[in-house]
Each structure stands twice: as C-alpha cells, then as structure tokens.
Amino acid sequence: MLGWELPPHNSGGLGVACYQLCRALSKKGADIEFVVPYTAEHPDVDFMSVNAAHPQDVQRVLKAGIAYDSFKYVKSSGEIEWVDLFGQSAIYEEAVGRIVGETSFDVIHAHDWLTCRAAIRAKMSTGKPLIVHFHSIEADRAGKPMGGNPLVREIESLALTLADKIVAVSQYTKDAIVREYDIPADKIEVVHNHSDPASLIPEEGENVYRYLTAMRELGYKVIVNVGRLTVQKGLPNLLRAFQLVVQRSPKTFLLIVGSGEQRNELIQQAADLGIAQNVLFTGFQRGKNWRDSYGVADLFVMPSVSEPFGLTALEAIGYGTPVLISKQSGVSEMILNALKVDFWDIHEMANKMIAVVQNDVLRDELYRNAYHEYRSHSWDESADKLLSIYEDHLSKSPSNADKAGAAA
C-alpha cells in the first residue's frame, strides 16, 4: 500500500484514515506492506510493516512543518538537502520502483495524487492490479471546480485512467471525479471513511481550555472548527456568519483549531469584522489539546467549500459535540442527524449556529441522535468492501488467478 503519511506524523485526515483502514483490513487477514516517503517511528502500528521509500544514498528523510510542506534529506555524507512536494513525489516514485522489485505482493493500493506516479510505475513494472484510492482531488483542494495546479491534475488524470479500479471516499468525491476527469462512473466504488470509536481517548482530567470552561459556567457558548486554515475549508464564510451570531448572541466564542496559509488573513478578518474578542486561534494541536477542543464546544462547524469526506465531523460527534456541516461534503451523505448548510449560505449558517447556541434542547437532541448514528457505522463495512474489490481483481488478473487471499 502506497501512502503519504501515518499518525503521529500526519498533517490531517489522510494519515488517520489510512491507519484505521489498514488496521481493519489486517484484522480481516490482509497482509499489508505500507510505504511512506519519510523516515520515522510509528509506535502504534503493529499490524503491518511500514517502510520508508527514499534514495539509497539518503540516511534519513524528515518531514518538516505540519502541512504538506517540504522534506529534509540527510544524505549518507551528512549533507542536507530540502525537497519540495513535487520533488518528493518524484523521489518516492524512484524508490518505490526499486522496492517493488524486491518484494512480492498481489495488489497495489495507492492513496491520493502524491503516490500516483509511484503507483503507476509499480503497475507498469509488475503488471499487478492497481487500485487508486482518492481522499480528495485537486479541485477540492483548490476550492473550485476545474481548479488547482495543472501538473497535479495531469497526474490525477493519468492515474485515474490507468487504474484498474478507483475508490472514492464518498459519493460526493465520486461525482467530482466523474465531472472533473470524465471517468466512467462504474469504474469508481464509494468506500466511506469512519472514525473508529475504539480509537477515541476518554476525557481525562480538567479540560485544557480553562478560560472557555469558566466562561461556559457564566452562560457562554462555544463553537469550534478543527482543520487546516486553507481555502478549501471555507473559513472566511464561517467568520462572516459568526459575526451575525455575535450580534444576536454576544456570549458566544468561536474556537479555531489548526494552522495553514490563511491564518493571518483570518485573524485580520476577525478584527475587521469587530469580533476579534470572540474568536480564538489556537494553532495546530495534537493529543489532549486537540481532543479537549471538541469537548469544550457546544457545536462543531465544518463550513468546507469542498470536503471529499470530513473525518473531523465524525471525530467531533465521537468526542461529544453535535455538528453543522456543509452540504458540499462526503460526511453529510453518511450522517442524517446533523445540521447542514450550503457553504456559501452565510445567513443560513448563522441561523443554525444561533439556533444551537440559544437552544440547549436542540444541541442535546442533535448530539444524542448523531452519536447513536455514529456508533452504528464502522470501518469493518469499509474493509469488507475493499477486500471484495481486491478479490475481484485478483481473480481477473491472469497471473494471480490461483490466489485467493489479498496482500497489498
């Protein structure tokens, strides 16, 4: 399996989804060799082997920054070199090309565009069936149809065309692939992500957001957003909607957890809107700081312009918070007990936030039913679906006709 990241070295939902998906697959007997483009320990992974793919003359590849930024190469000579995403994707391709010659496997399963070049090379050199799994496409990240970097679009288009099967994390993403790349719909299977209830860590000790906890005692309400501060996530609309909330319910805070290229402009925008005192930016958080942000909130809002899935919404529900999510998201296909809004409809977004901060019964009823629904789903369903896709392709592939079990 070709991936870009795994926890704790992840920058977002991709790593979490790969981790939980592989765990569910391996429980069902899949033998997985997971290849990442950096060198690091993965202490929580004991159900598959994780290998770093990098050039032979390189000792270590370190991820720098928290987003998909750049990679630091420590060469055997001790020399240090910085590589950007495109360079990294090309180096990963070379290294994977070498690894596949040394390993045996039945299926190539690749996640997102960054691994696509490597995946195509692996298919070309081994003839094994290729399944490309899209957690997002370039148009999502650009926040507009037909948008984004043309080089990335070219790689996505090529991989989608050459793949034997495409997996999309939602119907929303499947539709986008068909729309953006003219791929026949029957080549694409939808396999939803989940947030594994077993991976939730129970609330322990005092909530780290002491100020917000104290303010809640005084009748304040807290709305939280967790995610990268990037155009795809639609945060400027959330701030404009939140201004309307504050006008009617001044005792409301908006907690923004995450970092990204929009950080400074969002801080500026909050000040321009006159709500700087009500908006709190925490920066990127992990662990308890991250978990407690859900716990301190009355409502989680995901206003994404385009969200192929939206794992954070499930995590929010898992950690006790009802959700308001944009209709332009995959997770809205899955959770009925959520408030939903078009990402551009600022008045409706405000209307729904106000309704929740002014009505505890709405908040509680919404949460109770959403949690019940959340618990009714599991990664097992998704793993079963993937295993049957593997088996379909194993039986179709002449060189594998006699093999039943799947290893990817």
Q: What are the residues whose beta carbons fall under 8 Å from the beta carbon of 311, sequence distance 6 or more?
A: 13, 16, 17, 193, 195, 331
Q: What's the min distance (Å) between Cβ of 373 and another protein?
A: 5
346 or 387: whose CB is closer to another protein? 346
Given a contact cutoff of 8 angstroms between Cβ atoms, the answer to whether 352 and 306 are in contact is no
Measured distance CA(190)–CA(166) in Å, rounded: 9
Q: Which is nearer to another protein, 179 or 372 (CB)?
A: 372
In SS3 terms, the chain reads as CECCCCCCCCCCHHHHHHHHHHHHHHHCCCECEEEECCCCCCCCCCCCEEEECCCCCEEEEEEECCCCCEEEEEECCCCEEEECHHHHHHHHHHHHHHHHHHCCCCCEEEECHHHHHHHHHHHHHHCCCEEEEECCCHHHHHCCCCCCCHHHHHHHHHHHHHCCEEEECCHHHHHHHHHHHCCCHHHEEECCCCCCHHHCCCCCCCCCCHHHHHHHHCCCEEEEEECCCCHHHCHHHHHHHHHHHHHHCCCEEEEEEECCCCHHHHHHHHHHCCCHHHEEEEECCCHHHHHHHHHCCCEEEECCCCECCCHHHHHHHHCCCCEEEECCECHHHHCCCCEEECCCCHHHHHHHHHHHHHCHHHHHHHHHHHHHHHHCCCHHHHHHHHHHHHHHHHHHCHHHCCCCCCEC
CB nearer another protein, residue 264 or residue 359: 359
Quote the least distance from Cβ 172 to another protein, whole Å: 17
CB of 355 to another protein, least distance (A): 4
Q: Which is nearer to another protein, 144 or 248 (CB)?
A: 248
Decide whether 111 or 352 has the Cβ nearer to another protein. 352
| Interface pattern 341-370 for another protein (x via CB under 8 A) | ------xx-xxx-xx--xx-xx-xxx--x-
> How far apart are CB 254 and another protein at their closest, in Å?
17
CA–CA separation, 318 and 88 (whole Å):
35
Q: Which is nearer to another protein, 92 or 242 (CB)?
A: 242
Question: For another protein, which is the closer residue by CB, 316 or 408?
Answer: 316
CB of 225 to another protein, least distance (A): 19
Nearest distance in Å: CB 127, another protein: 42
Least distance (Å) from another protein to the CB of residue 29? 30
Q: With contacts defined by CB under 8 A, name the span among 58-66, 147-155, 337-345, 381-389 that binds another protein.
A: 337-345
Q: Looking at beta carbons only, is 260 or 310 nearer to another protein?
A: 310
305/350 with CB nearer another protein: 350
- Residue 189's contacts (CB-CB under 8 Å, 6 or more residues apart) are 165, 166, 167, 168, 385, 389
Q: Using CB under 8 A, which of 288, 340, 385, 403 touches another protein?
A: 340
Window 214 to 273, contacts with another protein (CB under 8 A): 244, 248
List the x/- string, 366-405, binding to another protein by CB under 8 A. x--x--xx--x-----------------------------
| Residue 337 in contact with another protein, rule: CB under 8 A | yes
Segment contacting another protein by CB under 8 A, of 100-108, 288-296, 333-341, 384-392: 333-341
Q: How many residues bind another protein (CB under 8 A)?
A: 24
Query: Which residue, 208 or 350, has its beta carbon nearer to another protein?
Result: 350
The minimum distance between CB 331 and another protein, in angstroms, equals 14
Nearer to another protein, 62 or 362 (CB): 362
What is the smallest separation between the CB atom of 253 and another protein, expressed in angstroms? 19
How many CA atoms does the CB half-sphere of 30 hold within 13 Å?
A: 27
Q: Which of 161, 336, 342, 396 binds another protein (CB under 8 A)?
A: 336
> Which residues sit opposite 81 in a β-bridge?
73
**CB of residue 364 to another protein, shortest distance in Å:** 7
Cis omega (within 30 of 0) for bond into 55: no
Shortest distance (Å) from residue 216 CB to another protein: 20
Residues that bind another protein (CB under 8 A): 244, 248, 336-337, 339-340, 347-348, 350-352, 354-355, 358-359, 361-362, 364-366, 369, 372-373, 376
